[in-house]
Amino acid sequence: MDVIESRWGKIHGYLNWQGILNNAFHLRGQDLFIDMIERPEAIHAVFSKICEVMIRLAAMVQRRQRESGFTINQFSVSNCVVNMISPQMYRTFVLPYDRRIALRFERFGVHTCNWNVNPYVQAFHELPNLGYLDMGMESDLPKVRAMFPETRRAVMYWPTKLQDAPLEELKNDMERIYRS
């Protein structure tokens, strides 16, 4: 940050902090999912520590960014592997920590890595300060709009379809997204 500030002034940018589940997956690999069933207390201890570290680092970096003149008031998590757990497991193991993070920042965002958010949308609705939510095309876009009218919603489109689909199909998809 010192180098950035000395060369360009403002420490501009939004870091990808990952999310509780992503970070734990990087640490434990696929054993994480077995641990969630066989050792839930241990997983909560690990998730709690990951959450604490994420909050402390983000607060430190954002304070420094604001001091440099870059106004930042949001924190987004990446739940890229959320589709590898059930909605109930999300509620039990991840939601408490996403909520803890969301309560510490003015705006909170959830990246879902282009997955269908339908199974998780009720739990996401419980998150305070949700200012951003992205989802895949299979998501119930009208339902998400109704549930999150003040949230910036982003629809992630398949890069392969963008490359391969006929123009008319792309146009129809974009119109559906726009209407929804």
Tens of pLDDT, residue by residue over 1-32, are 999 999 999 999 888 899 999 999 999 999 99
Rounded to whole angstroms, how far apart are CA atoms 5 and 120?
40
pLDDT digits (tens, 9 = 90+) for 120-147: 999 999 999 999 999 999 999 999 999 9
- 101, pLDDT greater than 90: yes
73 with 107: CB under 8 angstroms? yes
CATH code of the domain containing 11: 3.20.20.210
Nearest of 58, 66, 76, 56 to residue 134 by alpha carbon: 76
Distances (CA, A) of 41 to 21, 47, 53, 166: 15, 10, 19, 51
Do the beta carbons of residue 127 and residue 101 sit within 8 Å? no
**In this model, does residue 95 exceed pLDDT 90?**
yes
Range of the domain at 138: 2-179
What does the alpha-carbon distance between residue 26 and residue 19 come to, in Å, rounded to a whole number? Answer: 11
The model's pTM = 0.91
Averaged pLDDT for residues 83-92: 96
Q: Is the pLDDT of residue 175 over 90?
A: yes
pLDDT at 150: 95
Total domain count for the chain?
A: 1
Q: Residues 46, 94, 88, CA angle at the centre, nearest 5°?
A: 125
